[in-house]
Structure formats: C-alpha cells, structure tokens
Structure 1
Amino acid sequence: MKKKSMNVPNTLSLLRVALVPVFVVTLIFMREIPVWGKVVPTLIYILTAFTDMLDGKIARKYHLITDFGKFIDPLADKFMVLSSMISIDAVMFLEGQTTEAIVFMFVVLVILLRELGVTSLRLVVAGKSGIVVAASMLGKAKTVSQMVGTVLILLETTIFPFSAETHIVAYVVMGIMLVTTLFSGIDYLKSYLPYIDTNE
C-alpha cells in the first residue's frame, strides 16, 4: 500500500516548528554582533510567521484541511509565539535590560494564561457540542500585535535609535500586546460561556 504524502499546509506547519529553535539559537548566540545580530533572527521570525499565514490560506483554498492540520497548526502557532517571546525576554536579562525584561515577563505570562484559558474552553465546548467559535476581530488583532510587536522589539534599537536608552518603543508595544491579549481573551470567554453548562 502506497504511503500517503503529507500535504503542503501541514508541511508548512512542521516547518514553522522546526524554524523556532533556529530563531532561538541565532537570537541568543548572535546577540553581540552589531545590527546583524538582530536582523538575522528577525528575518527568521518573519519567515516563521509567514508560514503561519500561508498554511491556513492554502488549506482553505484547496480544501486540504485535515485532522492533523487542525492539531499541528494551533500548536505550532503557540510554540512560535511563546518560544520567541521567552527567548527575547532571556536576551533582555542577558543584556542587562532588567526592568524591560521583568515587564515583558509579565506580558508573556498574561499571554500564556490567555492561551491556556482559550484552548481549554475550546476543548470543553468542542468536546460536548462540537461547536468551534471562529476567531474574532479582537483575536486577529491580538495575533497581529504579537507578531508585529515581536519584530519591533527585536529591531527597536536598530530602527528607533532614540529608544536605545529608555526603550519607550518596546514599552508601548508591550502595552498594545497586553491590551489586545486581555480584550481578546474576554471576548472569547463571552463567546463560549453560552455553551458551557455550569451545573455539569
């Protein structure tokens, strides 16, 4: 029997998972190289994020949605976002940006709790009623703010030299990430609550 080959969207999702360690390694070990120490990991991150946008579009357009894809795509997304943010936070500590690192650690913790909460709600509701609430505009805004925000934090001192001392750009970006994460989490909670029976 001929073994069925993996389709393009699922391959892209697995590529996203494989690129995350490459991003982490280049970010940490190239951090002392001027300019390129930030540009190279940023380009890898952008490529990783691009696979996130591409796999879903291809799967929907060419009807290549599979059970494995439904599992690996969101898992790869969370792995990408959280791994990149945790490694950026680690580099902040290594570079002596203690205050910025502590603030970003709080933002990452909120994002982690939000992802765990929303994923748990999805599993409970989907398991009982088979209903999956589509991503809202707030959810999409959260994703965009995290991806664009990560790039801006990585390239902060390269693109915005005036922010090298105060890191004001990074703090503004973190604030936007935090707000969109909280509001999208509340939005998902409101969407799923009608399907949850608190008496069970």
Structure 2
Amino acid sequence: MNLPNKLTLLRVILIPFFLVMMYVDAIPLHFLWALVIFAAASLTDMLDGKIARARGLVTNFGKFLDPLADKVLVITALTVFVELKEFRMSAIPLVIIIAREFMVSGLRLLAAEEGVVIAAGIWGKLKTAFTMVTIVGVMAYLSLAYDFGLAVPDFVKTWILGALIWISTALTIISGLVYLKGCWKYIDGDK
C-alpha cells in the first residue's frame, strides 16, 4: 500500500477516536483532543491527493476510499453537532449535505457504467475545504468554551459559527447542482 492510500486509511481510522473524544466528558480536554484529531484527519485529505498526483501514485483503491473517507469524516462531525448539547446544530444542513453526497455517488455510478470516471471539481473541493474549516471552528469554540471555560460571547456560536454552517450548506447545494448539470447526460429516463 502506497503512502497516499495509507494517509487515506489513517483518516478512516481516526474517525472512531474523534467520536470517543467528542462524547467522553471524563477525558480531560476532550474537545481539544477531538479538534486535534479532526484537524489531523483533514490534513491527510489535503496531503494524500497532492502526494498521489505528484508521485504518480493514483490507484483505484485511493479513488474509491478518498472521497468515502471525506464524506464519513464530515458527516460524522456534523451528526455529532446535531445532538451535542454544547453546540446544537439544525439537522437541515446535515440532511442537505447527506442528500448531496447520495446524489453525487449515484451520478458517479451512472457515469462509471459509461466508462467515465468523474473527478471532483473546484466547487466540490471548495465545499469540502470550507466545511472542514467550519467544523474546526466549531471544535475550537467547544474547546475554548468548555475545556478551558473561557467566556466566548454567544454571538460567536449563534451568528458566526451558525453562518459558517449555512455557508457550507450553500456551497454544498451549489456544488451538487454543478455536478448534476455536468452529469445530466448520464441520466436517461428511457433506460
């Protein structure tokens, strides 16, 4: 297994550790540890693709696991935010993000039946990066407010972090529509 694939696999392995840190209050600085784990996992997303392309190490395993690892990492964090008492996020952005991921996966399958592999476009990459930065922002808030007991103003949670989540959701919708438009030719109502 090459280095980019090991980094992608590491991202998947880090997800249960992220969950443990998010939920186990008995662990000192558990939100900070969750932040560190999520940030490290996000960095592997940036590194694996760059290394794979630069060194000619692109594999089918990487093409399969990399986008899956991204989706599971982001959806895991957002799902936790929906039920977390310290930062309760609306389920609406989560549902939109999950629906977009199902749509894109379905479109990729249709394109694959035609022998076409569709790489992530700029809108998808922007959506992923912005969403990961937003999650890091929420995690930083949780760590400062609850691990360290700092008095973070309510507008940070309500307005700033809330706005970042809705901007991520808007980017999700835009990237999904761009993807749908680009793949429309693979959707044939007569087949």
TM-score between both structures, scaled by the size of structure 2: 0.87
Q: 2:119 aligns with which of 121, 134, 141?
A: 134
Stretches (4+) displaced over 6 A: none
Matched, 1:7 2:2: yes
Structure 2: runs of 5+ lacking an equivalent = 146-150
Shift in Å, 1:192: 0.3
In the TM superposition, 1:14-163 aligns within 5 A as 14-30=9-25, 36-92=29-85, 95=86, 100-101=88-89, 103=90, 105-127=91-113, 129-156=114-141, 158=144, 161-163=152-154
The amino acid across from 1:143 in the alignment is T
CA deviation profile, 1:123-153 (whole Å, cap 9, x unmatched): 11121x2223332222122111210010111
CA deviation profile, 1:72-94 (whole Å, cap 9, x unmatched): 111111111111211232223xx
CA deviation profile, 1:26-58 (whole Å, cap 9, x unmatched): 11113885xx33222111100000111111111
Shift in Å, 1:180: 0.5
TM-score between both structures, scaled by the size of structure 1: 0.84
Paired residues of 1:156 and 1:164 also in contact (CA < 8 A): no
Aligned to 1:117, the other structure's residue is in SS state helix
Q: 1:189 aligns with which of 156, 168, 180?
A: 180
Query: Which structure has the higher relative contact order (CA within 8 Å, separation 6+)?
Result: 2
Cα 1:120/1:31, change in 2 over 3 Å: farther
Task: Report the identity percentage.
Answer: 36
Shift in Å, 1:165: 8.2
Structure 1: runs of 5+ lacking an equivalent = 1-5
The amino acid across from 2:3 in the alignment is V
Paired residues of 1:86 and 1:108 also in contact (CA < 8 A): yes
- What is the total number of aligned residue pairs between the two structures? 185
CA RMSD of aligned residues (A): 2.2
